[in-house]
Structure 1
Amino acid sequence: MGHIGTPTSRVDGRAKVTGTARYAAEYVAPDLAYGVVVSSPVARGKIRAIDASAALAVPGVVQVFTHENRPSLAWFSRSWQDEVAPPGSPFRPLYDKEIHYSGQPVALVVAEEFEAARHAATLLRIEYETLPHATDLGAAREEAYEPRKKRSGIPPPAKPRGDAQAGYEAGAVKLEAEYRHGFEHHNPMEMHAATVVWEGDGRITVYDKTQGSQNCQSYIHNVFGIPSDQVRVVNAYVGGAFGSGLRPHYQLFLAVMAATQLERSVRVVLTRQQMFTFTHRPDTIQKMALAADADGKLTAFRHEAVQNTSRFEDYQEAVVNWAGLLYKCDNTLFDYRLAQLDLPTPGDMRAPGAATGLIGIECAMDELAYAAKLDPLEFRLRNYSEIDQDNNRKYTSKALREAYHIGAERFGWGRRSMAPGSMREGGELIGWGMATGVWEAMMMKTAANAVLHADGRVEVACATSDIGTGTYTILAQIAAEALGVDLARVTVRIGDSDLPKSPVSGGSWTAASAGAAVDAACQALRKSLFKLARGMDDSPLANASLDRVVFDGGAIRLADDEARAVALTDVLTAHHLSLVEEEGAASPSMISSMRYSRYTHSAVFAEVRVDAQLKVVRVTRIVNAVAAGRILNPKTARSQILGGVVMGMGMALYEETMPDHRFGRFMNHNLAEYHVAAHADVQGIDVIFVDEPDEEVSPLGVKGLGEIGIVGTPAAIANAIFHATGKRVRELPITIDKLLD
């Protein structure tokens, strides 16, 4: 029985539901002290004075760290090279007296007990000099600028094609509109935390809530000057991240600082309120201008966007980079700018750029379809692009057309009436909307090793992380398939900086990257085992070649005579070996990357019901047809799309961090007032995978699924709400007040 492609329950599921899986704040350490972070109440200014005497007088308080007594940092600690970070000068806690944003950490109180540290933190007296602040993107948009491209890692907008203004003026139908989506914050179940275990002799073991253990190891080395071989970072389990753990955050800095200064173990856990004091999805304003001819063919597509960033870094997203490769149009103009605000640097949040940009693109396409009196799906098909026009490249694969047709058929799109407000049942208006989704299909250089033990157990290892996506499971499936052993005999070790080199887990590249590396290690192990099997006395495989054998049932067998076989355990016994170990690595093909464009695609269809009087919106049905390469595990793959769709519902209807610009701070910084989609909000979600193996993207034919589920979902829901009510709401989330007359 093949393991790849088989619906398989998570191999780590039991550990998670029984509580034996440990997270960053759950590791036991001797002589453990607890740190509590004190946050700035002002948005911009300077610290005039700090009085820590009352806090230090609390029994059990060990130290109060501020900018006045923090240890010196490595000379290169302000460099962008320290970490996965945008261009600029990464924020360092307690660096000096300057206040850059509300909620900035200004002190760390360390005590023998958490309760003592928390109490002492309230006794700290800090005087501030306040300065004028700016947190309103709308007011700052006129000062927006083209971001620094160097070392950003974000592709700039495509160069203009044709004459967008002339194409717009020549169009038979036109649309000019502005769309906005406000701030969102990552709210994973596990809050950011770091437990730093002092091992003695300057060595530390760090348990951090991160998406990349080796990224944090490098950060600690660069910032504190600790040799990398004296730092081990472990993140065996991550309780959700959605991009919030792609770069190190201040709990790691503060915990390492305190532990190395005090030479004892220290734990720092951020509060839920402090989870709103760093990375977030940025506020975004998108300006669209589209036109089409009398046949519904696009004659112009202009997409301009402005987003917020901090004063000290140019955080960037690919917001306007999608329409030019999704839809055929000869006259395009794309522009992307940043506006600096007195807020922390934004960060990647599930499908950064695409989840936001497709709101403007797909809502505008829906509006123009109505102006052209065309069905929204038909309008997209008339403008379907077979190539990536922005880069003039063919796709490695693009089964979007199939996704449109399969999704529409499953949804019943053909029964949809065109007129807004024309579908009704009792006191509810029914709306059907659709949108396209697109995301990059990436692969990163990754290494792994594979071990066969004498008792038949297989162990594969890689430093990659499982952020809830099912990485443990798919890596076990890949190893079991390659070596022909039962899944229960495979152990996966990940989330440890001591393991083979791996990038951070993000961008939907983990399955393709870590999966290919594990497969490469297993293929190398196959060769070694086969060579040993051939060398056994009276081996039935003595004259065979590797391409004539199969690994199955814990043995190596001749493909045309499976009775002639050697058990894997017998191979090691015959050679008096306790184990056989091999390494493997996988990298993307640079030639293929230059020749082809690589993307996943989806077609999202949404049904909403809107109370005709109260305007309460219910999303009653979603069909998401996804073309994302080879599906390794349909069960965990479906779960990924479900999670993305639910987050897309949050973008469309619920999630919004609301700033009070008078104070320059986010006001609903808790889960009571920051609304996310709950179980009662989620009804029928139907996930369809379009068959699309793609070995140009990765050796296993995998494209990745982490992001594609959210992209397009908010726009599909927004378009469905228009179809139900006849009212266009161009500012998301679409709350009741925006639908009331």
Structure 2
Amino acid sequence: MSIVGQGIDRVDARLKVTGTATYSAEHKLPNMAYAVIVQSTIPKGRIAAVETAAAEAMPGVLAVLTHQNAPRLAKPHGSETKQGGGEQSKPDQKQSPPTPKLTLLQEDRVYYNGQPVALVVADTFERARDAARRVRLRYAAEPAQLDFSKAKQKLRRPEPQPERPSDTGRGNVERSLQRAATRVDLLYTTPMENHNPIEPHATIAQWEGDRLTLYDTTQNISGAQRTAALSFGLPPEQVRVVCPFVGGGFGSKGTTWSHVVLAAIAAKAVQRPVKLALDRTQMYGPVGARPLTEQRLVLGANAQGKLAAIRHDTISSTATLDDFTEPCTSVSRILYASESLQTSQRLATLDVGVPTYMRAPGEASGSFALESALDELAYRLKMDPVELRLANYAEKDPEKDIPWSSKSLRECYRAGAERFGWARRNPKPGSMRNGRTLVGWGMATATYPANRKGAKAVAALLPDGTAVVRSGSHDLGTGTYTVMTQIAADALGMPLSRVRFQLGDTTMPEAPVSGGSQTVASVGPAVHQAARALRDKLIATATADTASPLHGLGAGDVDAVDGWLVSRADPARRVQMSTVVTRAGGQPIVANASAEQGDEKKRFSMHAFGAVFVEVHIDPDVGTIHVPRVVGAYGIGRMMNAKTTHSQLMGGIVWGLGMGLMEKTEMDWRFGRAVNANLADYHVPVNADCGAIDIIVVDEEDKQINELGAKGVGEIGITGVAAAIANAVYHATGKRIRDLPITPDKVMV
């Protein structure tokens, strides 16, 4: 039976539960120093004066670095590419999202409140932190743009991105809207939201001559390598990045931020290893966030609910320092069949930290608006929300006019509705109660692209009969170690216990950023091919050995089973794989593989799909909202591991609960600084907030995306959840809330 698909326990579980898994800030280097960032306290202006004498005089302080004395860099901003698009510098962006412009103590300008403006290095963390408090800066402040409504008066078109154009259209939207029997014209907003992984960002930098090693918490070791090399004018091979474990990333660790290069600057300045770990409050501003969005949805449909027109116009906030586009319209462009469609993306510039990718960037925010609007249209038409979606089911990609690689959304609607009991829903708002408690049922569609990039892997069989497979990928807690071990063991024909997968080091074969739910779909095929190539080498070696029981057999005559090479015709003719290595001279037998994309994306549109059903209970007196149960049904290609898949989908749903009901970065817009920059005040769901979460994975085969048939599952789980909650709240109360998060005060108004 195939190991792939089984609910195998995590192979790294013991390391994690015993505390021996080494995260970036936990690497121990001799003579380590510690750095603490000093942040700006104004949103815009220049540094007029710096007073460092008091800090420099403190015991243990090794250096106080500012724009006045920091080493000059080859590339002052680290990278000139833009996150939202633009020209890509060098060939490095093949595997990586563009790096935002960095603030690296190279100039006196202040671009946002919380920007790194000085760095204190000391022999202990406590001394560095204490000295950082004694650095004094005076500013020449300038008027800052911190009003989104005013920033909208000077909108900009984003630079074009592959797959994500700023404007799209088909058909004639205005004419279709004029003919529509029913139309809705609605405005939805989502707030700024911050990543809050358990592990904050941290980097340890060590120089050995002109070679740099970074122990960095990152979703993109190759991207960090290239950014550091670019900053210091080094060949990439002189920079090594190590990251065996990541304690959550969710997009915030997908790009390289200023603190990474600052740690290396500090290490060069004091000539010893330096650790720079951000505290929780420093993760609000310097390392990105989900931007504000304002989305206008106009839908027109005939009396039977068939969509004639979709218009989706999005404004999202960006930063003065660099651009980032939250591509909210991407869902509207592909999800439903409509004779005409028009979408636009525009940017409103604020003097804040550069926004960045956050779990399902664009799809999470965009699906809230689109799926809420579909629900509002369903009520106007007096039509069941599921039936409305089925009436507009897209049999092929309506934007590209090409077939789906696979699509099981009909089955997701059916299975989810049946498990939830949707047929028992009374459609009238406010009609369902449990005693005094208002009960609401809502649903929405979930979707996320099935992304893939090229990746490499190497597999080796050692003389002791164990196999080691390596790829420079990452495990964000998603289960990469486990799934890749399963894939390799299956392909090799070896027991799981005899296979080790290693990742997280730029000395290993290159893999893409672990973002966009693409790691399994990208690295999995490379691991599979490397393991198959190693198995073929073992078979070729065994059949060529005159002393082997398999001598003279053809490659197709031999199977690999449980660590043995076995004749298919005569199972008594067999040899252990370890024996093949020993008889071949005792050196490891090694095979490399590179799994590249073909032209499949030109021939097929590749997406995962799902349906999410939510029940809410609302106290009519105080407006509190509880979600006792959620049912999510998903078509995600071939499931690699039943446990980790369930965990990822459930985690996405939990985040969707947070997005719908709690998450908001509360900004003091007078000064452009987050006031809830901690886990006490920035609310995320805890166990008490989560009821039963029922996950269904429908059978789906996809032979187009990759040889494994695997799509990503990390991000689809959050999509649609906030809308399903909003739709359920309306069903319970008759109050339509279009501005996230949905808090008790909004329900009570």
TM-score of the aligned structures, taking structure 1 as reference length = 0.97
> Would you say 1:347 and 2:348 are equivalent positions?
no
Counting matched residue pairs gives 737
Task: Tell me the distance in 2 between the aligned counterparts of 1:358 and 1:646.
Answer: 16
What's 2:487 paired with?
478
Mapped pair 1:623 → 2:631: yes
Deviation at 1:215, TM superposition (A): 1.1
**Number of the residue aligned with 1:328:** 337
* Per-residue deviation, 1:501: 1.1
**What one-letter code is carried by the residue in structure 1 that aligns with 2:672?**
G
Partner of 2:676: 668
1:596 to 581, 604, 610: 604
Q: How does 1:629-668 map to 2 (within 5 A)?
A: 629-668=637-676
2:45 paired with 1:45: yes
In the TM superposition, what whole-angstrom CA distance separates every residue of 1:586-643 from its partner, at most 9, and x where no partner exists? 01222x2111111010111111111121111011111111111100101111101011
The letter for the 1-side match of 2:682 is Y
Q: Distance in 1 between matches of 2:575 and 2:100?
A: 59
Alignment CA distance shift 1:610-1:55 (3 Å): same
Equivalent residue, structure 2, for 1:286: 295
Q: Corresponding residue for 1:79?
A: 80
Q: In the alignment, what sits opposite 1:574? A: 583
Matched ranges for 1:107-506 at <5 A: 107-149=118-160, 152-153=161-162, 155-157=164-166, 159-198=168-207, 200-278=208-286, 279-506=288-515
Q: CA deviation at 1:228?
A: 2.6
Cα distance in 1, alignment partners of residues 374 and 298 from structure 2? 10
Task: Provide the rounded CA distance (Å) in 1 between the counterparts of 2:437 and 2:326.
Answer: 38
SS in structure 1 at match of 2:170:
coil
CA distance in 1, matches of 2:416, 2:572: 46
Secondary structure of 2:403's counterpart equals: strand
CA distance in 2, matches of 1:154, 1:536: 52
Structure 1 residues 511-536: Cα deviation after superposition (integer angstroms, max 9, x where no partner): 01111001110111011100111022
Query: Alpha-carbon deviation of 1:562?
Result: 2.5
TM-score by length of 2: 0.96
Provide the rounded CA distance (Å) in 2 between the counterparts of 1:137 and 1:376: 33
SS at match of 2:553: coil
> In 2, are the aligned partners of 1:87 and 1:314 still within 8 Å (CA)?
no
**SS of equivalent residue, structure 1 residue 395:** coil
Match of 1:530 in 2: 539
Identical-residue share of aligned pairs (%): 43
Shifted more, 89-98 versus 267-276: the winner is 89-98
Alpha-carbon shift at residue 212 of structure 1 (Å): 1.3
Give the direction of change, closer, same or farther, for the CA distance of 1:159–1:231 in structure 2 (3 Å limit): closer
Q: Which deviations, in whole Å up to 9, do the C-alpha atoms of 1:421-453 show, x marking residues without a partner?
A: 111001211111100011110111000000101
Decide whether the 8 Å contact of 1:213 with 1:496 is kept in 2: yes
What is the CA deviation profile of residues 535-564 of structure 1, one whole-angstrom value per residue up to 9, with x for unaligned ones? 223533334333333211110112343232
Name the counterpart of 2:104. Answer: 93
Change in 2 beyond 3 A, CA 1:587/1:13: same
Q: What is the one-letter code of the residue matched to 1:116?
A: R
Residues 397 and 694 in structure 1, CA contact (< 8 A), matched pair in contact too: yes
Rounded Cα–Cα distance in structure 2 between residues aligned with 1:160 and 1:479: 44
Separation in 2, partners of 1:654, 1:122? 33
**8 Å contact kept, 2:419–2:631:** yes
- The runs of 5 or more residues in structure 1 that have no matched partner are none
Shift of 1:203: 2.5
For residue 325 of structure 1, report the CA deviation from its aligned partner: 1.6
Q: Deviation digits for residues 41-69 of structure 1, max 9, x if unmatched?
A: 11111100001000001011111000001
Q: Distance in 2 between matches of 1:636 and 1:78?
A: 35
2:730 and 2:736 in contact (8 A); partners too = yes
Q: Which moved more, 1:160-169 or 1:437-446?
A: 160-169
Amino acid of the residue matched to residue 3 of structure 2?
H
2:86 corresponds in structure 1 to none
Aligned to 2:27: 27
1:114 deviates by 1.1
Residue type of the alignment partner of 2:415: I
Query: What is the CA–CA distance in structure 1 between the aligned matches of 2:143 and 2:568, rounded to whole Å?
Result: 76
1:45-64 correspondence runs (5 A): 45-64=45-64
User: 8 Å contact 1:88–1:314 — kept in the other structure?
Assistant: no
The one-letter code matched in structure 2 to 1:453 is: L
Cα distance in 2, alignment partners of residues 731 and 705 from structure 1: 27
- The 1-side partners of 2:30 and 2:408 are apart by 55
Closer, same or farther: CA 501–88 of 1 in aligned 2, 3 Å: closer
C-alpha separation between the residues in 1 aligned to 2:735 and 2:567?
67
